[in-house]
């Protein structure tokens, strides 16, 4: 759950940065709404971590700052690219959450319910970005996003 929490720290920062630099009101609203839902996810993960007597990642301030910067830069590239970034982010997050569900013990119904709801919400965020005109991202950008995600996952797992 610590890794999921760190992902939610990054996601809400990313979307706030994108909303700040969005050029049209509809895109900015969608990004702000996604950021608000990520805050809900963040709270759910934080509560579950406490219930499991764990701790959040020590790297969360770094994830927030880096993600806000990336989001601001994505937004500066224009709304279609920014929405494409949102769509691809959610596609990758959904894959991560699906894998997490496969590894969660069936008896951990509380964690499973949280991850299932997060997965559902992430799919909706990606679909919204698509309907608003998300541009297709180049393959190298998607791969850079995957590598960054892997770094964040591993760093959050240990620290």
Name residues whose C-beta falls within 8 Å of residue 120's C-beta, 6 or more positions apart in sequence: none
**Domains and their CATH numbers in the chain:** 2-158 (1.20.1260.10)
Q: Number of helices and strands (H, E) in the chain?
A: 6, 0
Q: Residue range 46-73: average pLDDT? A: 95
pLDDT of residue 73: 93
- Which has more confidence, 58 or 28? 58
Tabulate helix, strand, coil % of the chain (nearest 5).
Answer: 85, 0, 15
Model confidence at 120, in pLDDT bands (50, 70, 90)?
Answer: very high
pLDDT tens column, 137-147: 999 999 999 99
- The angle formed by the CA atoms of residues 83, 119 and 49, to the nearest 5 degrees, is 115
pLDDT of residue 47: 95
pLDDT of residue 35: 82
Portion of the chain with pLDDT greater than 90, in percent: 64
Contact 59, 155 (CB under 8 A): yes
Query: Which of 71, 77, 59 shows the shortest CA–CA distance to 34?
Result: 71
Q: Residue range 40-64: average pLDDT? A: 94
pLDDT of residue 23: 87
């Amino acid at each position: 759950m610590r890794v999921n929490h760190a992902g939610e720290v990054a996601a809400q920062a990313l979307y706030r940065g994108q909303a700040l630099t969005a050029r049209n009101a509809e895109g900015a609203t969608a990004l702000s709404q996604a950021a608000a839902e990520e805050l809900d996810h963040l709270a759910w993960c934080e509560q579950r971590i406490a219930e499991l007597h764990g701790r959040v990642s020590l790297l969360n301030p770094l994830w927030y700052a880096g993600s806000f910067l990336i989001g601001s830069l994505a937004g500066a590239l224009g709304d279609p690219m920014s929405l494409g970034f949102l769509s691809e982010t959610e596609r990758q997050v959904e894959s991560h959450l699906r894998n997490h569900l496969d590894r969660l013990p069936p008896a951990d119904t509380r964690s499973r319910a949280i991850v299932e709801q997060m997965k559902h919400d992430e799919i909706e965020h990606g679909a919204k970005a698509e309907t608003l005109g998300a541009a297709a991202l180049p393959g190298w950008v998607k791969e850079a996003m995957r590598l960054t995600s892997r770094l964040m996952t591993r760093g959050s797992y240990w620290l």
